[in-house]
Amino acid sequence: RHPYTTMTSTSVPDDIDRLYQNTTSGGNSDQSLTLSSDQPDSTFTITNLLTIVRNERFSPELLAFNPLVDDFLNRVNVREMEIQAEEPADEEAPDTSAQQQKAYKAIKLLELDKIRYLISEYYRVRREKIELFAHFLLNEENHEVERLSEHERQFAQKYLDLEILLYRRGFQEAVTDEFWTSDQFQQIMASRQPDLKQFVFLRVPHEIQEVEMVMGEDQKNVKLLSDEIYVFSYQTIQHLLKEGKVQLV
């Protein structure tokens, strides 16, 4: 497990943001990655990326695909090309200066690799969930397909088709209908659904004065304090996660 996906969520993300800004923009925080958005002042930082990766990793269900991750990856790739194209160290400069320039360039590329790793972790976790819940996600009755990007939807459909083909050619033909039917196979496929009753850890970035939660058969109003860690069943806090009011840890 990569340390960036398990770090505490109190102070470290800000340090990574600062380190990222220093190594990719020469210390000028005004040059942090600014993404096109309906909001002119919208920025997407490493802290946002960490939150997205953690939420996806620790959520029992597949969350809605965030297109800003793709945009962020594109900008990382562009920044890497810019660093690679920088002028090489001046041969006439003092040895220490040339070495520092090479080291600084290597550090910037290393930080970009760390960011790229986080993004690949996001894609990997989503792919595993798609493979596990392909039938559930593509079932129109569940209205889950909108959570997938277009590429993910195509992948899920191909994966499901291959899984059904493997069943038919590798198993169904060898077993008589007396012991196994296609309906039973469909039932097994349909039973693979996210466990929304699973308990999760969550952090509250900003205090929530009063939120209505269903706990068992009871309905209670709960106050969630800022920067505190709580444990709830996922379905209890599902709506808060989608609204961005809590973060999974």
Tens digit of pLDDT for each residue in 81-127?
999 888 776 656 566 677 888 888 899 999 999 999 999 999 999 99
- Residue 102's pLDDT is what? 85
Residue 198: other Cβ atoms inside 10 A: 13
Terminal CA-CA length for the chain: 14
Lowest-confidence pick of 37-51, 63-77, 139-153: 37-51
Residue 137: other Cβ atoms inside 10 A: 24
Tell me the backbone φ, ψ of residue 102, rounded to 5 degrees.
-65, -40
Q: Where are the domains of the chain?
A: 3-128, 140-191, 199-248
Average pLDDT for 160-168: 85
- Residue 37's pLDDT is what? 37
Residue 30 has pLDDT above 50, yes or no: no
| Model pTM above 0.85 | no
Fold of 199-248: Ribosomal Protein L9; domain 1 (3.40.5)
Average pLDDT for 6-30: 39
* 13 CB-contact burial (10 Å; exposed 0-12 / middle 13-18 / buried 19+): buried
Question: Which amino acid does the sequence have at 34?
Answer: T
- Residue 22's pLDDT is what? 43
Average pLDDT over the chain, rounded to whole? 79
27 confidence band (pLDDT: 50, 70, 90): very low
43 confidence band (pLDDT: 50, 70, 90): low
